[in-house]
Amino acid sequence: MHYATNQYEGMIAETTLVPGHNGELIGAYVARPMGPGPFPAIIVIHHMPGWDEWYREVTRKFAHHGYIAVSPNLYHRAGHGIPEDVAAMVRAAGGVPDDQVVGDVAGMLAFVQALPHCTGKVAVFGTCSGARHAFLAAAQTPGFAAVIDCWGGRVTMEPHELTVNQPVAPVDYTAGLECPVLGIFGAEDSSPTPAQVAVLEQALKQHGKTYDFHMYAEAGHGFFYYDRPAYRQTQTMDGWKKIWAFLDQYVRV
Amino acid sequence: MCTMIATQITIAGTGKAGNGWFVLREANVSYDHPFEAPYDHALNIDFVNESLGPGARVAVELDVASARKLVETITAVLAKADQAGVLGE
């Protein structure tokens, strides 16, 4: 993002409640630039460790770059406490049901598109399980302008991996995807492995979808997370450049 | 949830967390991303009481070798106690 040092900038960021699946109110952290806009938007789907500080920061980062960013708490129904305690409870329950996630994300899309200061162009972003959820939601919900899949695990799934909560592999919904996909992956990741990423890429190719995949060398799972040993500075900075360029091309227009 | 390898069992006992001792009702054993340990994946055990909410949790995150050693040690200690005739079921 290019901006001048004498340029005005302001941001509003706060938690609120937004109707999700079946109209149920769930927590959402909404960050947006101040001003009348209109601004493009992005739904920011948290990872397995929950609705945590990294996701608060990334939500504000998108707002700093000119997007209305909405991060829903997909674990809202599990109760409240510190994010990792809530996430541990969800992990024990086998994760949140895919249908519920799709409903929650669709609720966020409807919420943000109805805002008078939104252009109506909305992307969906996620990392880890959040990337899986982002792909799943984008493939089943018309109206997204772009999806960003950062190392989404279990987008491809073997039959024995299917569960009551995750009954269909997201890759099987590829035909329904109506927007381009940006993929950011690490070559040393074990979930997804490069072979699993290749299966997803093949499905996108087979269905004639627009996609842009980047496989980073010497990077494993979650290499953007500066608070984890997996952090890789060079690859992370390049990955963010890819994200901004992709959003400029498909969402900011 | 990137592996989804998780199993819950019911247990009886007590655990100590930040607010002191509480009654344990469940143990959740998973092999998935840890929250704190510096590994991609870890053997995670959460000793919890779900009826008390998410905060009633004693958590450990172990590397694989440590997890295996723990299992062997628990089994060995229980066997010794059994041989000594002090094992109360």
Residue type, B41: H
Contact B1 A220 (CB under 8 A): no
The total number of residues written for chain A in this structure: 253
- Please give the Cα distance from A199 to A29 (Å, whole number): 34
pLDDT band at B18 (very low <50, low <70, confident <90, very high): confident
Q: Across residues A186-196, what is the average pLDDT?
A: 96
| Domain-embedded: residue B86 | no
State chain B's mean pLDDT as an integer: 94
Q: Across residues B49-74, what is the average pLDDT?
A: 97
Contact B49, B23 (CB under 8 A): yes
Q: What is the DSSP letter of A42?
A: E
| Domain-embedded: residue B81 | no
pLDDT band at A193 (very low <50, low <70, confident <90, very high): very high
| Domain-embedded: residue B82 | no
* pLDDT for residue A70 is more than 90: yes
Q: Is the dihedral of CA A180, A186, A192, A198 positive or negative?
A: positive
Q: What is the pLDDT of residue A1?
A: 62
| Domain-embedded: residue B41 | yes
* pLDDT for residue B89 is more than 80: no
Side-chain half-sphere exposure of A166, counting CA atoms within 13 A: 29
Provide the pairing of β-strand A25-33 with A68-72. Answer: antiparallel
Range of the domain at B49: 5-63
Q: What is the pLDDT of residue A51?
A: 98
* pLDDT for residue B1 is more than 60: no
- End-to-end CA gap in chain A: 15
Mutation pick from A54, A74, A82, A85 vs chain B, by most beta carbons of B within 10 Å, is: A85
Contact B14, B22 (CB under 8 A): yes
Complex confidence, ipTM = 0.88
All domains of chain A, ordered by start, with CATH?
11-250 (3.40.50.1820)
- Please give the Cα distance from A88 to B8 (Å, whole number): 11
Q: Note the pTM of the prediction, 2 decimals.
A: 0.94
Our count of domains for chain B comes to 1
| Domain-embedded: residue B24 | yes
- Please give the Cα distance from A31 to A52 (Å, whole number): 15
Contact B1 A161 (CB under 8 A): no
Mutation pick from B5, B9, B30, B35 vs chain A, by most beta carbons of A within 10 Å, is: B35
Contact B2 A87 (CB under 8 A): no
A48 to chain B, closest Cα gap in Å:
5
State chain A's mean pLDDT as an integer: 96
- In this complex, how many residue pairs, one in chain A and one in chain B, have their CB atoms less than 8 Å apart? 78
Q: Across residues B22-41, what is the average pLDDT?
A: 95
